Amino acid sequence: MGVTGSKAEHRISKILDAALEVFSHKGYRDSAVDDIATTSQTSKGGVYFHFPSKQAIFLALLDRMADLLLSRASKSMAAEPDWPKKGDAALATMLHTFADHRNLTRLFLVEALGAGREFNQKILEMHITFTALIKDYLDTGVVDGYIAPLETRIASIAWFGAVNEVVTRWVLDEEPGNLEDAYNPLRELLRRGIGL
């Protein structure tokens, strides 16, 4: 009482953890709210007391991942004074974060897409948010004279897609290697692509 982390918040957190567990094991559509309830040691009604729908749980989870990724990336970029190194840091952080949260990543990159038409808007928003971050970075590079002018809109999308695919492959692979091994070649490729 009084302190953040009330019982309700704790429950919500437990439910989200359980949902992540369940969704990433069975997929969004094949997961029953009952599964989430059981896994979070609550009852179905308990889940519905805290979330209005199954969809809302998924959305909350997506937000959680986006926040995590975004804040980490921003932080690591801010920590680097050098423009080119900012990009390297962001890439490293992203790969590291993904590698650390394979389940959330699966949710984010795989389940979310096909979960249903209802989520498309949300996913698009998330892609746009990330791409915008990259575009900002590239635009700064152009303005500050680090790189020659280029179509940063497409470039940022392509960068995002490149990382995305590398990670998706790792997520889909049943016997995945070490995701962070991709860092060096990927960095090289991306840098060169913009003429660095």
Which amino acid, one-letter code, is at 128? Answer: I
Q: State how far the Cα of 57 lies from the Cα of 97, in Å rounded to an integer.
A: 22
The answer to whether the beta carbons of residues 103 and 22 sit under 8 Å apart is no
Q: State how far the Cα of 145 lies from the Cα of 77, in Å rounded to an integer.
A: 18
Radius of gyration of the chain (CA): 19
Task: Report if residue 177 touches a copy of itself, rule: CB under 8 A.
Answer: no
The pair of three-digit structure tokens given for residue 133, joined into one six-digit string: 């971050």
At its nearest, how many Å lie between a copy of itself and the CB of residue 81?
26
Task: Report if residue 116 touches a copy of itself, rule: CB under 8 A.
Answer: yes
Give the residue with the Cβ less far from DNA, 5 or 81: 5
Q: Which residues in the 143-172 window bind a copy of itself by CB under 8 A? A: 150-151, 153-155, 157-166, 168-169, 172
The pair of three-digit structure tokens given for residue 109, joined into one six-digit string: 């990159």
Q: State how far the Cα of 47 lies from the Cα of 20, in Å rounded to an integer.
A: 14
> What mask, x for binding DNA by CB under 7 A, covers residues 5 to 24?
x-xx--x-------------
Q: Which residues contribute to the site for a copy of itself (CB under 8 A)?
A: 26-30, 109-117, 120, 123-124, 127, 150-151, 153-155, 157-166, 168-169, 172-173, 182, 184-186, 188-190, 192-195
In the complex, which residues of this chain contact DNA (CB under 7 A)? 5, 7-8, 11, 30-34, 41-46, 48-50, 52-55
